[in-house]
């Protein structure tokens, strides 16, 4: 089988600082460490900064991102971990539910790169996690950076929700009916 060349988008650039949160499950520590190394390198190459938190498993990653979005000031998130198929249906639950939760957060406007590997065996995970090979950690960070660039291109400077102050509206003087 011939290998297919993958196209990689140019790295986005930013006029103002970018800070990402890497949320990783180190359940398979060596694989997680490689994913994190790839993500850190990509983030730093874009001139951005990062913070890192660890969660027990892939199911907790979306919740941690949701908490960080409500309680902190990150521009985007990188979800990293690995789920290897076992003998039970737990694999499907973890893969589907973590992916679905991340997708729902993304549809709410969060900039998330999903680097949670879902593989059949350790060998597949090692190839995908290795920064010198498939570098899926770097790819997830790149995805988050591209989403941040897009949100900055189309978005507003405030993440606030609610009423706009009157100063944001253009009020013309004497445009309404007068009462005499």
- Active-site residue set: 90
Total residues found in the chain within this entry: 180
* Residue 60 exposed, middle or buried by CB count within 10 Å (0-12, 13-18, 19+): middle
Q: What CA–CA distance (Å, rounded) separates 25 from 35?
A: 10
Pairing relationship of beta strands 112-119 and 49-54 according to DSSP bridges = unpaired
Type and span of the H or E element at 150 = helix 136-154
Report, in angstroms and rounded to the nearest whole number, the Rg of the chain calculated over CA atoms.
20
Q: What angle do CA 100, 146, 80 make, to 5 degrees?
A: 45
179 by DSSP, 3-state: which? Answer: coil
- Cβ-contact 131, 38 below 8 angstroms: yes
- Cβ-contact 85, 28 below 8 angstroms: no
């Amino acid at each position: 089988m011939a290998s297919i060349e993958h196209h990689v988008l140019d790295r986005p650039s930013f006029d103002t600082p970018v800070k990402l949160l890497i949320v990783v499950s180190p359940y398979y520590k060596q694989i997680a460490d490689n994913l994190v190394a790839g993500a850190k390198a990509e983030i730093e190459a874009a001139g951005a900064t990062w913070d890192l938190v660890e969660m027990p498993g892939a199911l907790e990653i979306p919740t941690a991102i949701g908490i960080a979005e409500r309680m902190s000031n990150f521009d985007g998130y990188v979800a990293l971990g690995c789920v290897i198929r076992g003998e039970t249906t737990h694999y499907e639950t973890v893969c589907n539910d973590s992916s679905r939760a991340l997708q729902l957060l993304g549809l709410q406007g969060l900039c998330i790169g999903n680097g949670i590997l879902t593989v059949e065996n350790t060998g597949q995970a090692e190839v995908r996690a290795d920064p010198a090979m498939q570098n899926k950690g770097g790819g997830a960070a790149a995805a988050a950076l591209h989403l941040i660039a897009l949100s900055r291109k189309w978005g507003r400077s405030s993440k606030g929700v609610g009423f706009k102050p009157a100063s944001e509206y253009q009020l013309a003087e004497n445009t309404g009916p007068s009462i005499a």
